[in-house]
Amino acid sequence: MDKPAPQTRSRSPLLVSFAFFAVLAFLLFRNGENWIRHVLVYLSQAGWARRMISDWGVAWGVASRFVAGTDREAAIATTRSMNEKGLLVTLDYLGESCTSEGEALQARSEILRLLDDIHRHELQANVSLKPTQLGLKIDPHMALENICDLVEKAKTVGNFIRIDMEDHPTTDATLDLYRRLRYQEGLNNVGVVIQSYLYRSEGDIERLIEDGARVRLCKGAYAEPPEVAYPQKADVDANYLNLSRLLLSPRARAKGVYPAFATHDPAMIDDIKRYVHTNKIPTDSFEFQMLFGIRRDLQESLAREGYRVRIYVPYGTAWYPYFVRRLAERPANIWFFVSNFFRA
């Protein structure tokens, strides 16, 4: 399926953008990767940067490595080809931090149609969504109603909804949403995400184990202050392994916890593989998850080894913040971006 490119802009904004990325590259050279990560995460949320980059064809050329396409048809075609390779999928209709009820309702309608399409095409795919896409920052009650409709719809078509985790000011509200869906609405086909960079995550995981929850464990993609999150990557990694142990513990498995280990980090993946092998944990009692376009070799080799592997496949026109967070995770991709500029 072709990925339609947004309209290309004239050269002068391109030159401004190029100068901008050249400055970023220089600062990266001088100050190191950690610093550039914070700048990029800031840019992922900055409206002025989104307006500048979003309808620029060169940016889309790079972003389309990480995004299946701008419409549902492209997402369905990508999902089918992933399924043919033995990979499961979670589909994400891109969007976050919506500012009006209309935007939230539009996202809800699109995800309802997506659930129908997954069912109609008999795809091995579930759906991930962001609470702020469904209105969390406007009105938490509206977000709950929207997400509840989606989880109920998913239930009628035998599907599952994963609530992504965003930045730390939304953590409590997101976990609260999850609990209301489980205990107030009696819905079981819903799961949450825990980030190993947050100090609070061990406590959250302990409570989720008691619930027998479906938990995705990731490191965390936002720029968080040292008051709430480990600043050092080594600590984030160590906590990731610590939390993976809790999610795979006999107590968690007895409660019915089904963990998803979302990472491209070979050190995390190898450690988890060793642990499940040593403890004779069946490979169908957890899954690995990776992002579309990242470490395809590893995705396919894990599936060939008999592990469940699910690929997070985003689609839609609101790709800018998602794309810039991917650059932030791996600033080396900035060079790829700049080299595409010269080829355009």
Ligand X SMILES: Cc1cc2nc3c(=O)[nH]c(=O)nc-3n(C[C@H](O)[C@H](O)[C@H](O)COP(=O)(O)OP(=O)(O)OC[C@H]3O[C@@H](n4cnc5c(N)ncnc54)[C@H](O)[C@@H]3O)c2cc1C
Interface ranges with ligand X (CB under 6 A)? 164-165, 193, 195, 218-222, 262-266, 289-291, 294-295, 312, 329-330
Asked if 221 contacts 325 with a C-beta cutoff of 8 angstroms, the reply is yes
Least distance in angstroms from the C-beta of 230 to ligand X: 12
- By beta-carbon proximity to ligand X, the closer residue of 13 and 203 is 203
Residue at 322: amino acid letter: Y
Cα 163 to Cα 196: distance, rounded to the nearest angstrom: 16
DSSP letter at 4 equals P
Which CB, 2 or 297, lies closer to ligand X?
A: 297
Nearer to ligand X, 148 or 290 (CB): 290
Q: Is 9 a catalytic residue?
A: no
Can you list the alpha helix ranges (DSSP code H) found in 121-161?
140-156
In the complex, least distance from residue 194 CB atom to ligand X, rounded to whole angstroms: 9
List the catalytic residue out of 164, 167, 204, 237. 164
CA-based nearest residue to 193, from 28, 312, 74, 84: 312
Task: Report residue 320 as tokens.
Answer: 């800018």
Task: Report the nearest approach of ligand X to the CB of residue 78 (Å).
Answer: 15
Kindly name the residue from 37, 162, 216, 253 that is annotated as catalytic: 216
Q: Return the number of the residue (113 or 330) whose C-beta is nearest ligand X.
A: 330
CB 178 within 8 A of CB 144: no
Q: How many CB atoms lie within 10 A of CB 210?
A: 12
CB of 24 to ligand X, least distance (A): 17
Cα distance between residue 234 and residue 231, in whole Å: 9
Active site residue 2: no
Q: φ, ψ for residue 313 (rounded to 5)? A: -110, 105
Active site residues: 164, 216
